[in-house]
């Protein structure tokens, strides 16, 4: 009887770890799925790490917003501030469902992508020294 209890516990632990692994795999697949299917780069002149940073930041914030309610301004603010503090001034961000733009940007500081049904334009411009005249 003691041996039977040990065997049951061993099997129980094995099953639990199996279930946990399956959940982890499913979560990873869902993550990849979301990334792959919901973020699409439309135009870009930006190193990959910065791109990934922008996508992750946008994804996290959109997920935290109530479904079907887009706060363009908040997303634009969040992205601009994150990039200003991480990669230096001055970044600009436009978010929306219907706009066109024409901009001049710094080399390596431009990405235009869509995530869900929102379009995001994030770009950097040069910083000029203060005129002391």
Partner 1 sequence: MLEGKAVIEDTDMPDKMQIQAMASAYEALDLYDVFDCTSIAAHIKKEFDTKYGSGWQCVVGSSFGCFFTHSKGTFVYFTLETLNFLIFKGASYLI
The footprint of partner 1 (CB under 8 A) covers 71-77, 79-81, 84, 89-104, 121, 125-131
Contact by Cβ (8 Å): 91, 122:
yes
Tokens read off for 19: 């279930």
| Shortest distance (Å) from residue 101 CB to partner 1 | 4
Give the CA diameter of the chain: 93
| Shortest distance (Å) from residue 16 CB to partner 1 | 46
CB nearer partner 1, residue 58 or residue 95: 95
| Shortest distance (Å) from residue 50 CB to partner 1 | 17
CB nearer partner 1, residue 35 or residue 116: 116
CB nearer partner 1, residue 35 or residue 61: 61
Quick one: 42 exposed, middle or buried, by C-beta within 10 A (0-12, 13-18, 19+)? Answer: exposed
Tokens read off for 42: 């439309």
CB nearer partner 1, residue 35 or residue 94: 94
Cα angle, residue 81 at apex, residues 62 and 124 outer, rounded to 5°? 105
């Amino acid at each position: 009887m003691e041996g039977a209890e040990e065997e049951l516990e061993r099997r129980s632990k094995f099953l639990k770890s199996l279930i946990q692994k399956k959940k982890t795999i499913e979560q990873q697949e869902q993550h990849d799925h979301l990334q792959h299917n919901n973020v699409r780069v439309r135009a870009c002149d930006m190193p990959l790490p910065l791109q990934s940073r922008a996508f992750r930041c946008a994804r996290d914030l959109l997920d935290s917003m109530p479904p079907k309610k887009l706060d363009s301004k908040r997303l634009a603010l969040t992205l601009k501030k994150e990039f200003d503090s991480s990669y230096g001034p001055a970044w600009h961000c436009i978010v929306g469902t219907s706009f066109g733009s024409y901009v001049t940007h710094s080399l390596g500081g431009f990405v235009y992508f869509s995530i869900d049904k929102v379009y995001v334009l994030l770009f950097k411009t040069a910083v000029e020294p203060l005129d002391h005249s």
